[in-house]
Chain A
Amino acid sequence: MNYQVMIDSLPDLLGGALLTLELVALAAVVGFAVALPVALARLTRRPLLWMPAYGFVFFFRGTPLLVQIFLIYYGFSQFPEIRASALWPILREPYWCALIAFSLNTSAYTAEIMRGAIQAVPRGQIEAAMATGMSRLTRLRRVVLPQAMRIGLPAYSNEVILLVKASSLASTVTLMDLTGTARTIASTNYMPVELLTTAALIYLAINFTLTRVFKGIEYLVSGENRAAVNDPLMQAGLNDPDALHKIAEK
């Protein structure tokens, strides 16, 4: 291991990491925005809504991300009609092609996480909401989605971490992201182990930070659970299942 090479390459690699972070952040935001309507459409009984949503998720979960990037970047550009269309200024740029591929891919996975989380909201909560006369939309906004968010958060943090790693495929469409920069430097000094190790450490640092951030969010949104734990009554109940009965009997 040549540590000097690793240190010398840091500025360039961190520059690449900025592009990686930018792509991941934008893809996560766009992906989340696309995923919500897809997840809700998946949950309706109307074929016109759930079938396209199902097809979308089926395609983007069922094919490799590399294939999706290549189809968007090299595939679309094969058609003169597309090159002549208004979309071309966007589709000609590798940056936008990668962002589109990442966003659609992550939105398919996120939609499934959301669907699972929404379905996991206890039935009694919805019945209670209905009993208080909430409309369908109010129910969704005030009861279902907030609880689903809490249920889906751990799975979603996993998806964002997967997205960070998947973003390395941007280097296959000429983008100089973290992986692209590492590969380019390695191709001139023939020290792939040093460069890829340094890149791996930067990815680890990014993902470590992300897990901390998500841990923090999980803590923030689990207010009632924490309260329950701190409640002396519950505390007693958690430590000794019979304690609650004893307290109740008193």
Chain B
Amino acid sequence: MTTKTFSIALAALGLSTLAAQADPLRIATEGAYPPFNFVDASGELQGFDVDIANALCDVMEIECEITAQAWDGIIPGLNAGRYDAIVASMSITPEREEAVNFTQPYYQAGAVLVAPEGSDIMPEPDSMAGQLIGVQRASTYANLIEERFPEADVRLYDTVENHNLDLISGRLDGVIAQRIFMSNWLDSDDGEGFEMKGDAMLDPDILGLGAGVAVRKDDTELLDRLNDALDTIMDNGTYAEINDRYFDVSLMPQR
């Protein structure tokens, strides 16, 4: 929205060169990962990722078109040219870097185990053995369980919302997901009766350096512009302002 207003303002002033002429930058997000990206009641994409994407477009002075894509096909869709960048809380991992290029990380989170209050389950291999644990398919959290808790009984879900529904219904003994996402969920009505177990898991080997913007391998020019734009918004206070809209703690990665 800001981008649109910005472009219109530019065009109206007759100053527009790049913004009005260039093709819009097509950005994909998932739209099912609140508060990072989600669809609000009026059908608009909202969230931290969406605000960051719009801020980057403002800095790059380019019009952006943000659309929602199913998570498990989001990288193939990028490489097929259906959009130019992914801003969807995607963790930077070596496997993914074989398929796409990432900008510098724009936030770092970590994973957490959430289970019913009173349950004595802990994020340790022995305690997790044989427990039914929900996790999102194709996520780094699924890899984390496989590496650290091979004895856990894993169920793979298409969205985090679905595994949380099954946590509430009692089908699962716990879920492993991103710390900030789960912290917000615990604050909501749905999260009543559940709590985080043990410490946050950071494991950069598995979870990656943090979330980055993904672009196609051959799109190095866009990669450079996005990296510069990220520097700009982290330096000029835009990032902090967006961060504070959503979180109590700063997610800004160490640079």
User: Number of B residues whose C-beta is below 8 Å from A?
Assistant: 24
Contacts of B73 in A (CB 8 A): 192
Question: In the complex, which residue of chain A has the Cβ closest to the Cβ of B75?
Answer: A190
Interface of A is mostly: helix
B198 at the A/B interface (Cβ < 8 Å)?
no
Most A CB within 10 A of own CB, among B75, B162, B171:
B171
How many angstroms from the CA of A81 to the CA of B17 in the assembled complex?
Answer: 62
B125 at the A/B interface (Cβ < 8 Å)?
no
A77–B171 contact, CB under 8 A? yes
Interface of chain B residues 63 through 120 with chain A (CB within 8 A)? 72-73, 75-76, 95-96, 98-99
A153 at the A/B interface (Cβ < 8 Å)?
no
B166 at the A/B interface (Cβ < 8 Å)?
yes
Contacts of B169 in A (CB 8 A): 74, 77-78, 83, 92
Interface of B is mostly: helix
Distance to closest chain A CB from B189 (angstroms): 13
Most A CB within 10 A of own CB, among B96, B98, B143, B156:
B156
Contacts of B33 in A (CB 8 A): none
Contacts of B76 in A (CB 8 A): 190, 192-193
Check A74/B75 contact, CB under 8 A, given A83-B170, A184-B137, A187-B137. no
How many angstroms from the CA of A184 to the CA of B137 in the assembled complex?
Answer: 7
Most A CB within 10 A of own CB, among B99, B137, B158, B168:
B137
User: Number of A residues whose C-beta is below 8 Å from B?
Assistant: 19
Interface of chain B residues 97 through 156 with chain A (CB within 8 A)? 98-99, 134, 137-138, 142-143, 155-156
How many angstroms from the CA of A184 to the CA of B138 in the assembled complex?
Answer: 7
How many angstroms from the CA of A184 to the CA of B143 in the assembled complex?
Answer: 11
B157 at the A/B interface (Cβ < 8 Å)?
yes
B72–A92 contact, CB under 8 A? no
A183–B72 contact, CB under 8 A? yes
A174 at the A/B interface (Cβ < 8 Å)?
yes
Contacts of A187 in B (CB 8 A): 72, 137-138, 142
A186 at the A/B interface (Cβ < 8 Å)?
yes
Residues of B within 8 A of A (CB): 72-73, 75-76, 95-96, 98-99, 134, 137-138, 142-143, 155-158, 162, 165-166, 168-171
A-B contact pairs, 12 of them (CB 8 A): A74-B169, A78-B165, A92-B170, A94-B155, A174-B134, A174-B156, A176-B156, A180-B156, A184-B156, A188-B138, A190-B75, A190-B76
